[in-house]
């Protein structure tokens, strides 16, 4: 093997190893949760989750129908198979309150594997709301890495 071929092969191995490491999470999934606030609900509203992905981070904004005065607690995030499962528990409703509000919150999840994930959200006892993701439309990534930008599939 010539020195040039040996050098080129060595660079290719180092480069592919660097990309393989970049696509592998550096640790366990890390969650940062933020309660954005609640507002009185003016019309019928379904729970909604809007996830956006860049590299190994997903930021998901949730809108959840609750009884006014309830708060989100014990937020969790877990990768289970092909799903990113987001959930929280709700505090009990204030006594005598029946008015519905929309509780908005933000889940920032880091160290996600580079593979397709469906995002599933549940706030309280109701069934989960699930959203698939797609490559960002009208986005021209600098590389072939699809994980640079993903948005909710309509």
For the chain, 154 residues long, the average pLDDT of each consecutive 10-residue run is 42 36 65 90 74 89 91 93 92 90 94 86 84 75 66 74
> What is the distance between the alpha carbons of residues 8 and 113, in angstroms, rounded to a whole number?
30
The answer to whether 100 touches 39, Cβ cutoff 8 Å, is: no
Q: Read off the DSSP letter of residue 96.
A: T
Q: What pLDDT does 9 receive? A: 36
Full-model pTM? 0.74
Which of these, 150, 116, 153, 117, lies nearest to 136 by C-alpha position? Answer: 150
- How confident is the model at residue 15, as a pLDDT? 35
The Cα-based distances of 122 to 27, 79, 118 in angstroms read 25, 14, 13
| Predicted local confidence at residue 142, as pLDDT | 66
């Amino acid at each position: 093997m010539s020195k040039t071929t040996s050098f080129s092969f060595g660079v290719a191995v180092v480069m592919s190893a660097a990309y393989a490491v970049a696509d592998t999470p550096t640790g366990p999934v890390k969650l940062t949760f933020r309660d954005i606030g609640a507002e009185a609900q003016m019309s019928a509203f379904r729970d909604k989750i809007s996830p956006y992905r860049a590299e190994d981070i997903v930021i998901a904004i949730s809108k959840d129908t609750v009884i006014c005065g309830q708060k989100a607690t014990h937020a969790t995030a877990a990768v289970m198979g092909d799903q990113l499962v987001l959930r929280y528990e709700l505090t009990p409703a204030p006594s005598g309150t029946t008015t519905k509000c929309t509780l908005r919150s933000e889940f920032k999840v880091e160290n996600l594997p580079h593979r397709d994930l469906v995002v599933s959200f549940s706030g309280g006892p109701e069934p989960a709301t699930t959203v698939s993701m797609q490559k960002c439309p009208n986005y021209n990534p600098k590389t072939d890495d699809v994980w640079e930008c993903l948005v909710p599939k309509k």
